[in-house]
Structure 1
Amino acid sequence: MDLEGRTVVLTGATGGIGAAMVAALVARGAHVLAVARHPERLNALARRHPAGAVTPFAADLTDAIDRAALFTHARRLLPAPSVLVLAHARPAFGLFAAQGDDEFDALVRTNLTAPMQLIRCLLPVLQTHTQAAVVAIGSTFGSLAFPGFSAYSASKFGLRGLIEGLGREHADGPVRFQYLAPRATKTPFNAPAVDALNQALGTHVDAPEPVAETLVRAIERGTRRRQLGWPEALFARLNGLLPALIDRSLARQLPLIRLHAGGATAATTPSQEHRHDPLPL
């Protein structure tokens, strides 16, 4: 897919990876409809790029009125959007027993239900093109459930299943569906408890700019599934083939993970800006 001249709708645009993806898309000549919750951050993002390259649109994707407004705005753009990138997320780092029903509801609404609703909303617009894409920026934890991230992993497993199912449901149409999963990435959005766990476990943490560049290249190439990073890609594959092997490896890390997850209340602040996660194996 040649991105030059295309309109790309990108959610979570002011997050670490989201903002870096905006820059990579603009560098390829795309026009980006940048979506996030905070207007001031969106306007600052737009000012960093040439006039007209980035259109800021403030929206809470869990709100039906905001989604309808986004759809109305998107379908009026010329050219109409042909790429939807879902790069938003809500975090949930902490011990499962300490998390409440409201947190679970908000987590699933943001990470899974809102993507379902937004894809359904924009799909008719995407289908007007001979070539289009829906791209979910997932997580290693969408393939490998992790202690301290049980609920978050469940939401990301669901997102991966959604994209895989839609890809098969629309296999004979113009819209391709891609699930691209970064590994741990250094952004200001990471809660201190997550950063501390990464450091304690010696987890490799990527800078957002090369991650974004890899993701945009995957969009151009039409890569259906991609786990970034080694050995994370191996562990995700092993978890599907030999989960007991991963069970044993993570069991050795459990005391340290519990130590950090037990005091992680600051990690559950609501957000639609994307973050990614440690894989200490």
Structure 2
Amino acid sequence: MNLQGSKILVLGASGGIGSAVAYELAKAGAALTLVGRQRESLKRLAKTLEQEVASVNILTGDLVADAPGVAQAAIRAATGIDMLINCAGMQVFGFSNDEQPQDTARLFATNVIGPIQLTNALLPHMLERRQGRIVHVGSIFGSIGFPCFASYSASKFALRGYSEALRRELVGTGVSVHYVAPRYTRTSFNQDAVARMAVALKMAQDDPADVAGQVLAAISSDRADTYLGWPEKLFVRLNALLPRLVDQSLMKQVAQMRPFARLNANRQTP
């Protein structure tokens, strides 16, 4: 797909992978509309991106309360949307018995409900034009249930399942659906305890700019699903075929993760 002049809506553009994806899209000549929760961050990003593109639209809004309103505002601002790239995300780390109900609710609102509702709100516009692309940036944890990330894994499993089902539903309509799953990426998205744990467990880490480049490469290749990182993509296949084998490996890591999970729980306690 030629990104030059394409009208692309980036959800979760306030930081992390989302802002890195926006930079890569701007360099490719795309016309951007950025959606996020932090308006000041979006304004700073837009000012930087305008050195690459003529103009950048920014939008903030509650996707759970009014996804159709956000979708229509984006369509009006850009005079049409060719592609949605969903990079929205929130992370909850720690043992499930320490997780607060409000955090679980906010996690699913951010990672699942909001993106699905925005996608559904944009679909009539894309279906009427018989063209469009939906790209959901998930996680390796959306295929491998990782201890101390139970709710986060569940939310990414849900996003992956939605993407798979929607792709099958839209066959022959001109609208395609893609799912891209990065591994651990060095961004402020990760809590301090998670960053420290990643070092202790010697987890492979990617730079957000590298991930953004791979996201654009996945879009250009037109692959339905793309898993980033080795051996993570191998573990995804193993977990699908031999989940009990993967159990043994991950269960051994829980003892190493425990002090970081407890530290995180203590810091969140009022």
TM-score range, shorter chain: over 0.9
Alignment of 1:194-205 (within 5 A): 194-205=194-205
1:253-280 deviation line (CA, Å, top 9, x unaligned): 1101122112224898xxxxxxxxxxxx
Contact 1:140 1:227 in 2 (8 A): yes
1:208-237 deviation line (CA, Å, top 9, x unaligned): 111101101211221110110000000011
1:138-167 deviation line (CA, Å, top 9, x unaligned): 001000000000111111101000000000
Partner residue in 2 for 1:146: 146
Partner residue in 2 for 1:222: 222
Partner residue in 2 for 1:259: 259
Partners of 2:232 and 2:253 in 1: how far apart?
Answer: 16
Partners of 1:267 and 1:228 in 2: how far apart?
Answer: 32
Partner residue in 2 for 1:54: 56
TM superposition score normalised by structure 1? 0.90
Partners of 1:44 and 1:266 in 2: how far apart?
Answer: 34
Alignment of 1:1-281 (within 5 A): 1-50=1-50, 52-64=54-66, 67-265=67-265
Partners of 1:238 and 1:267 in 2: how far apart?
Answer: 35
Contact 1:26 1:53 in 2 (8 A): no
Contact 1:86 1:136 in 2 (8 A): yes
Question: What is the Cα deviation at residue 98 of structure 1?
Answer: 0.9
Structure 1 residues 221, 85: closer, same or farther in 2, change over 3 A? same
Which secondary structure does the structure 1 equivalent of 2:63 belong to?
coil
- Unpaired runs of at least 5, structure 2: none
Contact 1:85 1:137 in 2 (8 A): yes
Letter in 2 for 1:253: Q
- Unpaired runs of at least 5, structure 1: 269-281
Partners of 1:34 and 1:163 in 2: how far apart?
Answer: 21
Letter in 2 for 1:7: K
Partners of 1:136 and 1:250 in 2: how far apart?
Answer: 26
Higher relative contact order (CA 8 A, sep 6+): 1
Partners of 1:62 and 1:258 in 2: how far apart?
Answer: 34
Structure 1 residues 5, 79: closer, same or farther in 2, change over 3 A? farther
Letter in 1 for 2:9: V
Partners of 2:69 and 2:130 in 1: how far apart?
Answer: 25
Contact 2:57 2:77 in 1 (8 A): no
The total of aligned residue pairs comes to: 266
Partners of 1:241 and 1:230 in 2: how far apart?
Answer: 18
| Structure 1 residue runs of 4 or more that deviate by more than 6 Å after TM superposition | none
Partners of 2:117 and 2:266 in 1: how far apart?
Answer: 29
